[in-house]
């Protein structure tokens, strides 16, 4: 299993309030056909917070089935309840996921010691490659470089982190404290290229729901040492990055996929459809990028 390059944090399409399996399989197939390096079901972008346990398991199972081993699947299995996270991790392993993504516990606001013990407890019960997910803007707690380095050293299952702070100093500190096998994936589409330049290995991306090939090509160009091409793709994608975060993720991305006829754009409450003025902006960005909408 190789956790390098562009991984898509997949949206979860709904139709009439239920997971739309047909649309989901088509989205996955499009991702693979356009060269994505890996898939992440049931992350924040997949609206995992409002999926029932049965839906969560269904979405992961579908993704693994559709991928058919062609690309790695890193299944979201996080929770702010450690016991619940153990159950989700166990299911992901049994379903055949290549790795799991564990968000830091949200709302509880544990200390750094609490964060360490949370990840250690899950790994003690479910041995599977684990990528920690640090997104303080969503969770209210920051996994510090010292803590992730301690986790990486002490817990064999911890192979890396999805770092979504866009804080290049923190990213640099994490990479400095860990060895060259540590897998740091950007969790921020705006700073993929700077993260790669520091030693990051790739990205778990929202924007790649729309442009998987471009995000793959950016990572591949950097890996090949073609910085001119990497910078060109980076700047080309910035308009999509901005519009995909004009409102709470994944609302803009799902709306864009709806405009492209790829799935129903409806999010699940408490998320609501994109404001009309932002729909207009999104439509223009897609047209300017070259989409037929």
Domain parsing of the chain, residue ranges: 5-211
The number of CA neighbours under 13 Å toward the Cβ of 90 is 11
The confidence band for 293, taking pLDDT boundaries of 50, 70 and 90, is: confident
Q: What is the pLDDT of residue 110?
A: 97
Q: Is residue 89 predicted with pLDDT exceeding 80?
A: yes
Beta bridge partners of 158: 130
| Active-site hit among 116, 133, 152, 254 | 133
Q: State in words which class domain 5-211 has.
A: alpha beta
d(CA 229, CA 240): 18
Q: Once rounded to an integer, what is the mean pLDDT over residues 204-216?
A: 98
38-87 pLDDT, tens digit per residue, is 999 999 999 999 999 999 999 999 999 999 999 999 999 999 999 999 99
153 is catalytic: no
The tokens describing 225, both together, are 């040492």
258-268 pLDDT, tens digit per residue, is 999 999 999 99
97-113 pLDDT, tens digit per residue, is 999 999 999 999 999 99
68 is catalytic: no
| Active-site hit among 162, 281, 284, 289 | 162
Q: Quick one: which of 32, 93, 95, 87 has its CA closest to 58?
A: 95
112-146 pLDDT, tens digit per residue, is 999 999 999 999 999 999 999 999 999 999 999 99
The tokens describing 133, both together, are 């997910």
Q: Is residue 279 predicted with pLDDT exceeding 90?
A: yes
């Amino acid at each position: 299993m190789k956790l390098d390059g562009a991984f898509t944090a997949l949206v979860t399409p709904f139709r009439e309030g239920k997971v739309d399996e047909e649309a989901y399989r088509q989205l996955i197939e499009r991702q693979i056909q356009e060269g994505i390096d890996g898939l992440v079901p049931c992350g924040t972008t997949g609206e995992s917070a409002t999926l029932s346990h049965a839906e969560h398991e269904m979405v992961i199972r579908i993704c693994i089935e559709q991928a058919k081993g062609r690309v790695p699947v890193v299944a979201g299995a996080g929770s702010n309840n450690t016991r619940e996270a153990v159950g989700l991790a166990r299911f992901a392993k049994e379903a055949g996921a290549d790795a799991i993504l564990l968000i830091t516990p949200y709302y509880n606001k544990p200390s750094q010691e609490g964060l360490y013990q949370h990840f250690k407890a899950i790994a003690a019960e479910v041995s599977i490659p684990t990528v920690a997910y640090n997104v303080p803007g969503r969770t209210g707690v920051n996994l510090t470089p010292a803590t992730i380095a301690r986790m990486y050293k002490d817990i064999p299952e911890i192979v890396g982190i999805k770092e979504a702070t866009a804080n290049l100093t923190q990213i640099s500190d994490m990479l400095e404290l860990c060895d060259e096998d540590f897998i740091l994936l950007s969790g921020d589409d705006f700073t993929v290229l700077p993260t790669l330049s520091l030693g990051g290995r790739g990205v778990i991306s929202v924007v790649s729901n729309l442009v998987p090939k471009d995000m793959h090509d950016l990572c591949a160009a950097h890996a090949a040492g073609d910085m001119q091409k990497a910078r060109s793709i980076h700047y080309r994608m910035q308009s999509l990055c901005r519009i995909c975060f004009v409102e709470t993720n994944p609302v803009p991305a799902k709306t864009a996929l709806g405009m492209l006829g790829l799935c129903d754009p409806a999010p699940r409450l408490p998320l609501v459809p994109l404001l009309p003025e932002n729909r207009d902006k999104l439509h223009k960005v897609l047209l300017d990028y070259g989409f037929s909408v």
